[in-house]
Amino acid sequence: MGSIYQRIADLERQHAPYVLCTVVKSQGSTPRGAGSKMLVLEDGSIIDTIGGGEMENRVIAEALLSLKDGNTRIVNYNFTDPKRGDPGVCGGQIEVYIEPNLPSPTLVVVGAGHVGRAVAHLGKWLGYRVVVSDDREEYSSPEAVPEAEQFHRGPLSELPDIVSMKPWTYVVLTTRGMNIDVEGLPRLLENPPGYIGVIGSRRRWAMARKQLIDKGVSEEQLKIIRSPIGLELNAETPEEIAVSILAEIIMLRRGGDGKFMQINADEATQELAQG
């Protein structure tokens, strides 16, 4: 099994997603025994095998679904009667544990001014892989933003050539002007990441939105963009604004709703009564 673990290490270094599929239970006659492992990559290709055939095809399909929803799953198969939907006739039973492994989320900060640097700093502290993009060389550098692991010095339209846009990629535009957003967003929306947030007032976004539509961007494409960005905290300083932005990203990533968690006296009493 050394080769499969070596490949896992390689995938981790490359920040690449993969699914580890392990036979955790095997009874009777089955293609492979307990402990057999297989890696499923993002494109559906595999490394090693848990037995081949229709059973393996079904596991690959489940693995690709797990990459989309991020959830582990256990699947069970009987090998008795294909007419009943079984993937074989060997006579045994098999149980496979499917474990998706997604890369650390990537936070791409476009525009490394006061707010952008604060977002990068907080994002790094929260465990995100931070990428900074700015067309000004003095802003996109390790000296300016030491928390970033990767830098892009150029227009926003080039960003998809530098950074892979995946569901776990969060792009935050804290640029110095609406014209930068309007110029670069159409290319970004061709293969959008999991999140795009644009800083600015409601009026600024309304104007940018109209210009994007005039450039041929569809209403459907614009639905992914969140602007104004962040949760309403009445934030003022760059650091407070960064908290608002990252709070929104965490909420969306974790499936939260942003509501207060405080309970009143009656709810507290009821909570205790329920044990």
- The percent of residues above 90 in pLDDT, for the chain, comes to 71
Cβ proximity of 163 and 106 under 8 Å: yes
Q: Give this prediction's pTM.
A: 0.81
Kindly indicate the confidence band of residue 33, based on its pLDDT and cuts at 50, 70 and 90.
confident
What mean pLDDT value characterizes the chain? 90
Cβ proximity of 222 and 212 under 8 Å: yes
The pLDDT of residue 83 is 58
The pLDDT of residue 271 is 81
Verify cis geometry, omega within 30 degrees of 0, for the bond prior to 228.
yes
Residue 52 has pLDDT above 80, yes or no: no
Residue the block writes with tokens 């907080």: 122
Residue 50 has pLDDT above 90, yes or no: no
The pLDDT of residue 70 is 85
The pLDDT of residue 90 is 62
Domain map of the chain by residue range? 11-101, 106-254
CATH number attached to the domain at 106-254: 3.40.50.720
Residue 237 has pLDDT above 90, yes or no: yes
Kindly indicate the confidence band of residue 1, based on its pLDDT and cuts at 50, 70 and 90.
very low
DSSP string, 75-124: EEEE-S-GGGT-S--SS-EEEEEEEEEPPPPEEEEE--SHHHHHHHHHHH
- The percent of residues above 70 in pLDDT, for the chain, comes to 94
Residue 266 has pLDDT above 90, yes or no: no
Region 237-245: what's the mean pLDDT? Answer: 97
Parallel, antiparallel or unpaired: strands 46-47 and 73-78: unpaired
Kindly indicate the confidence band of residue 88, based on its pLDDT and cuts at 50, 70 and 90.
low
The pLDDT of residue 69 is 84
pLDDT digits (tens, 9 = 90+) for 141-192: 999 999 999 999 999 999 999 998 998 999 999 999 999 999 999 999 999 9
The pLDDT of residue 181 is 93
- Determine the Cα–Cα distance for residues 210 and 150; give it in Å rounded to an integer: 32
Lowest mean pLDDT: which of 40-44, 52-56, 66-70, 245-249?
Answer: 52-56
Lowest mean pLDDT: which of 19-28, 105-114, 130-139?
Answer: 19-28
Kindly indicate the confidence band of residue 115, based on its pLDDT and cuts at 50, 70 and 90.
very high
Query: Who contacts 157 (Cβ-Cβ below 8 Å, separation ≥6)?
Result: 183, 184, 186, 187, 188
